[in-house]
Amino acid sequence: MKKLRFALIATVLAAMGVSGAPPAAAANTFPTNPMGFAYATTAGVSQYAHPTGLLVTGRCNRDASEFTNARAGGAEILAYLNVVERNDGTVCGQDNDFYGGLPGSTPLWPYPTPGQRSNWPGTHMLDLQAGSAWADRVVDYIANLMVQDRIDGVFLDALGGRLWSDLADWESWPQLERDRWTAGAVDLVRRLDEKRRALNPRFIIVNNNVWKIPDVHDGTGDDPVAIQGERYVDGICLEHFASTSPYHTAVAGRAYSNLGHRRVIAIATSTAEAQAWATVQGVTHVTDQHGSGGYGQVTPPPVGFHRLTDRPKTFGRTTIGSGTSNGMTSDQKRASRFTLDDPATLLGFSAYLDGGGTGTGSQDVRMALYTDSGGLPATLVAQSNNVVSIAAGSAPRWVKFTAPATPLNPGQYWITIHTGGSNGVARLYRDGADNRYNSPDLFADGPATQFGSGWTDIGTISVNAGYTVGR
């Protein structure tokens, strides 16, 4: 973890014309959760096993069971990776695996001569240029993490629009070298964003640095290349800055990505300062790891937990069946069985429906969730908050239903469509293995507490349930 140099940033701010007291504070419109850095030890990790606590692993402990358990409780786990530089000596086997071999085997930054630049004592900078062998390895390595889905994202230390340490001495770099470093940093997060959209859109990318830097070519405005980095990450980390700093509060409130799961982190120098950062617009997570303990221990959460619903998971069927019904019978339920792997909190339901049945008018539809007993639907767990009316002739689409925040244990459940209104208007979609059970049930008084006896039917229905991990 590198602390950005406040004196250097203050100089930059002066060049940008940013000065004076910060504007009057407004209430933060984003719920703020606690986070912890578990670089050196996993002790204390369990404190964050709540929706949606945030934990950053160390270089060598990512696979520890403490993180697995915290994630099962709803915490989000980000893997610490330093793509900017590498330690001159061996740290651990997992670190060597990331860098592709023993120290000395990773391509170094080639300017002014290969291996000359260093950003932190005991390290040397790596060849981060766009399209370099090192950049390709980073993309491939993190893409594999996306596919494995054993963690929730990555924390990319020191990566941003420029470097700030005294040792790096960025201001002395020739402009061509600075341009290549900035372009490489932006291209890296662009490629990672492209990968996650294709492989795992829930994957989180946070960098510990800023992208909003002055355009050194003409001395005014933002660097047009560096600022593009903001669109490819879910947020940034601000490390040990005052919650009253105009520049840092401004960058905390900027837009990041468009995937919907914002993660802007503030590392405070005290518990009171962490709580102050929690009120700054745009901040989503705060920590107070500071003082003599530094990053050597995971400190208690400085603020409370607020369940976030911006990265929902799904169980059930997300593909569209090739077969359809002639139209669903009114006052009847039909359900397919699916397995939930996580301890969870229910968010809602989806069903792929249209109005192409033989009936006329419209048909009312709600959804429900039942437990499984001996391979048959049994006890009602939850029903949708809303009823949707499907009009005759309406086009096929995924129809959304909200649901109460209901705790769910891992296990098998029956996701259910319950119909009323005009008979035979709405159609479901299904195919594949026979996995459907039907039962009559009057629509007007809601789904029965017990599913009831009925009959099996063909195919698996295109229905699913959304949830967040943890209760």
Which domains can be identified in the chain, with CATH numbers?
Answer: 6-307 (3.20.20.70), 314-469 (2.60.120)
| Of the listed ranges 290-304, 323-337, 446-460, the one predicted with least confidence | 290-304
- Return the percentage of the chain with pLDDT > 70, whole number: 93
Contact 215, 223 (CB under 8 A): yes
Q: Residues 108, 111, 113, 115: is their CA dihedral positive or negative?
A: negative
CB neighbourhood size of 42 (10 A): 18
- What is the pLDDT at residue 292? 52
When pLDDT is cut at 50, 70 and 90, the band that residue 380 belongs to is very high
Average pLDDT of the chain is 93
Element containing residue 192 per DSSP (H, E): helix 175-199
Its pTM stands at 0.90
SS3 214: strand
Going from the C-alpha of 259 to that of each of 7, 114, 235, 262, 468, the distances in angstroms are 34, 38, 11, 8, 16
Both tokens assigned to 454: 């009925």
pLDDT band at residue 19 using 50, 70 and 90 as cut-offs: very low
Dist CA 168 CA 170 (whole Å): 6
Residue 133 host element (H or E): helix 133-148
Provide the CA 66 distance to its chain's centre, in angstroms.
20
- CA-based radius of gyration for the chain: 26
The pLDDT of 344-349, averaged and rounded, is 98
Q: Answer whether 332's CB lies under 8 Å from 444's CB.
A: no
Report the SS3 class of residue 446. Answer: coil
In the structure encoding, which two tokens stand for residue 292, read together?
């003599």
Q: Are 358 and 375 in contact (CB under 8 A)?
A: no
The arithmetic mean of pLDDT across residues 135-149, rounded, is: 98
pLDDT at 122 over 80: yes
**Contact criterion met (CB below 8 Å) for 352 and 398:** yes
The lowest-confidence range among 215-219, 220-224, 225-229 is: 215-219
| pLDDT score, position 295 | 85
- Strand, helix or coil for residue 19: coil
Q: With bands split at pLDDT 50, 70 and 90, how would you rate the model's confidence at 14?
A: very low
Residue 135: its H or E element: helix 133-148
Which residues, 6+ apart, have CB-to-CB distance to 430 below 8 Å?
321, 323, 324, 325, 336, 436, 458, 459, 460, 461, 462
Neighbours of 391 (CB within 10 A): 14
Residues 260-266 have a mean pLDDT of 97
Q: What is the pLDDT of residues 176-200, one digit of tens each?
A: 999 999 999 999 999 999 999 999 9
Give the model's pLDDT for residue 293.
Answer: 59
CA 144/CA 130 separation, integer angstroms: 20
